[in-house]
Structure 1
Amino acid sequence: MPAVRLNLFYPPRANPVVMDPVRAMTYNVRVDTPEDGEDGWPYRRDAVAGTIRYHDPDVLGLQELLAGQLADVRERLGRYRFVGRSRGAGEGVGEYVPVGYAHERFELVDEETFWLSETPTVAGSVGWDAAHPRVCTRARLRERASGEQFVVFCIHLDHEGRTARERGAELVRARVAATDVPTVVLGDFNCEVGDPAHDVLTESLRDSRAAATHDHGPNTTRNDYRSLHADWTIDHVLLSDGWSVDARAVCSDQYANGRYPSDHLPVVVDLS
């Protein structure tokens, strides 16, 4: 008798989403570091906020923000409330991967930050072969008008540790499997389609690029502030069943002197 492979992590099929369309964005805004010189955060922060404001997402996941950067974003984007803890052992230490949501439309039901490590509840813990602590922010939201709920996960997988990326993805997959409402997973995966970490998550989720009715923009999400890096898409939006993907776009907005606001391009997905 042939062997049968069971996917024990596949979540129950979600009911179709009945709320109004939702626009989701993932955007790595690049950490504030003096080594960036004229491309440093003080010169880019208004352009980053302007890019977000122009594309007007209902929910968004950001990566690589230090505490001061998160304060700058909050100051410039009053439409949103942000949740999520920094990745360091102490509160406010290290980078955040916050989830933001339009607070007039949605209310927060609950949220958590967990570490992508062997000890997910230990603040500052470094997993496997990762170069840094890595976290996932989870936010459960309720649409005020309809009462419908969904969950957003925002992740930033390690840039060096292949094992850490894959095992971290497995932790997120387990959280997704325990979720009883439609789910969006977005972030900087530090890997492309076909990498084991991406494969782990797409066992039970759909990549918005493949699912989109319309796809727009360059075939990359990376740049050096002045020119695009070809064929390097490492920022992704994944979806549970229940969502329809009306459109996906990689947004190549530029500001002064033809520069990009970050060394990543934002990905925007329209869901219904």
Structure 2
Amino acid sequence: MRSTPEFPFRVLTHNIRYATSSPFKGEVPWDQRKQVLLNELEYHTRHVSDTFICLQEVLHKQLEDIRLGLNSKATSVAPDWAYIGVGRDDGLQAGEYSPIFYRPSVWNLLDWETVWLSKTPSKPSKSWDAASIRIVTIGVFIHRLNGTTVLAMNTHLDDQGSQSRLEAARIIRAKIQGYRNGKFGAMIGGAFLAGDLNSQEDQEAYSDLTGSSDFEDTFKLIDASRRYGNHNTFTGFGYEKEPPSRIDYVLLASGGNQKWRVDGYSVMANRFDDGVFNSDHCAVIADLRLLG
């Protein structure tokens, strides 16, 4: 595998809140908040071309809005941004996506898949106590300039089913092992999992993923004095009964051909002077480095 001694890149993950027709108190419709969300994505990727954008709760209309918005300033026929992912309800366009956006000029997509977090992971389905169908989107990307290969994973675990979150974590860990032992195993320099786990540190999914030593939390891999922004990643829209919490993560898989270093970690604001929440979650950004 060709690689540079140190390879920096960024992961941004954000649950953008699906475009509901019945907004919560304090929530404005998608058409009123989408530009704020697009501005966030553009700002944090403008000069960091290697960024992966991992989003959750994305309906197809929102996906198209984001795809067109990110590509609105493209100067060539080829789009600046592309994505992998499918709607969870039918494996096509129905239901929420957990897409991974990337720049094809920077990353070459080698392979990707959607895995349903259920007893039948190859088809749309839910199991155990899950209230909704849940998925993980997985892509294998090779950097066009230096040859570093990254396994990227993006997910949104169930908000109600504790057992389903635990079983989903186990499926994700098994997929990591499957890729390490598969045809791309010798190439993969590092792997990450981004997303909304609906699990705090003392709860099942987070505990299983990090307690197994398969994953480490970027939040904990950088000194507290160097973190930027908020602690909590879920805020609601100001009127929910649930308190704010940290349930959105960028986790790094141990092993691989290169070692991880976290250069920066931040939880960005989701509301400014205009009072509009761009989502009920905040974006989490991790600046990472793979060391040769």
TM (normalized to structure 2)?
0.83
Determine if the alignment matches structure 1 residue 33 to structure 2 residue 43: no
**Distance in 2 between the 1:269 and 1:227 partners?**
29
Please state whether the residue corresponding to 2:126 is helix, strand or coil: coil
Please state whether the residue corresponding to 1:127 is helix, strand or coil: coil
**Distance in 1 between the 2:237 and 2:160 partners?**
22
Q: 1:207 to 1:68 in 2, by over 3 A?
A: same
Q: Partner residue of 1:3?
A: none
Contact conserved, 1:110 with 1:139, CA < 8 A, in 2?
yes
* Amino-acid identity (%): 31
Q: Partner residue of 1:209?
A: 219
For 1:149-194, what per-residue CA distance to the aligned partner results, in whole angstroms no more than 9, with x for missing partners? 0111000000000000000110001111233321010000011112
Q: Partner residue of 1:62?
A: 55
Q: 1:231 to 1:31 in 2, by over 3 A?
A: closer
1:27 Cα deviation after fit: 0.3
**Distance in 2 between the 1:222 and 1:111 partners?**
29
After the TM superposition, which residues 76-225 of structure 1 pair with which residues of structure 2 at under 5 Å, given as runs? 76-78=69-71, 79-89=80-90, 91-122=92-123, 124-178=124-178, 179=180, 180=185, 181=188, 182-202=190-210, 203=212, 204-213=214-223, 214-225=226-237
Structure 2 counterpart of 1:257, from 252, 269, 274: 274
Aligned-pair Cα RMSD in Å: 2.1
Letter in 1 for 2:88: R
Q: Partner residue of 1:75?
A: 68
Letter in 2 for 1:158: D
Contact conserved, 2:230 with 2:269, CA < 8 A, in 1?
yes
**Distance in 2 between the 1:28 and 1:62 partners?**
6
Q: 1:185 to 1:237 in 2, by over 3 A?
A: same
Q: Partner residue of 1:234?
A: 247
For 1:171-219, what per-residue CA distance to the aligned partner results, in whole angstroms no more than 9, with x for missing partners? 0011112333210100000111121211111121100000124212112
Q: Which moved more, 1:261-270 or 1:35-44?
A: 35-44
Structure 1 counterpart of 2:37, from 13, 26, 48: 48
For 1:59-108, what per-residue CA distance to the aligned partner results, in whole angstroms no more than 9, with x for missing partners? 02100011110000000012321101111135211000001112221111
Please state whether the residue corresponding to 1:112 is helix, strand or coil: strand
For 1:1-58, what per-residue CA distance to the aligned partner results, in whole angstroms no more than 9, with x for missing partners? xxxxxxxxxxxxxxx9845311101100000011117611111111111111111161
Q: 1:195 to 1:84 in 2, by over 3 A?
A: same
Q: Partner residue of 1:13?
A: none
**Distance in 1 between the 2:206 and 2:270 partners?**
26
Letter in 2 for 1:144: R
**Distance in 2 between the 1:268 and 1:80 partners?**
18
Q: How many residues align?
A: 257
Please state whether the residue corresponding to 2:22 is helix, strand or coil: helix
1:254 Cα deviation after fit: 2.8
1:253 Cα deviation after fit: 4.4
Q: Partner residue of 1:4?
A: none
TM (normalized to structure 1)?
0.89
For 1:237-257, what per-residue CA distance to the aligned partner results, in whole angstroms no more than 9, with x for missing partners? 100232101110000143462
Structure 1 counterpart of 2:261, from 244, 257, 268: 244
Please state whether the residue corresponding to 1:25 is helix, strand or coil: strand
1:258 Cα deviation after fit: 2.5
Contact conserved, 1:137 with 1:153, CA < 8 A, in 2?
yes
1:226 Cα deviation after fit: 5.2
Please state whether the residue corresponding to 1:21 is helix, strand or coil: strand
Q: Structure 2 unaligned runs (5+)?
A: 72-79
Q: Partner residue of 1:11?
A: none
Letter in 2 for 1:249: S
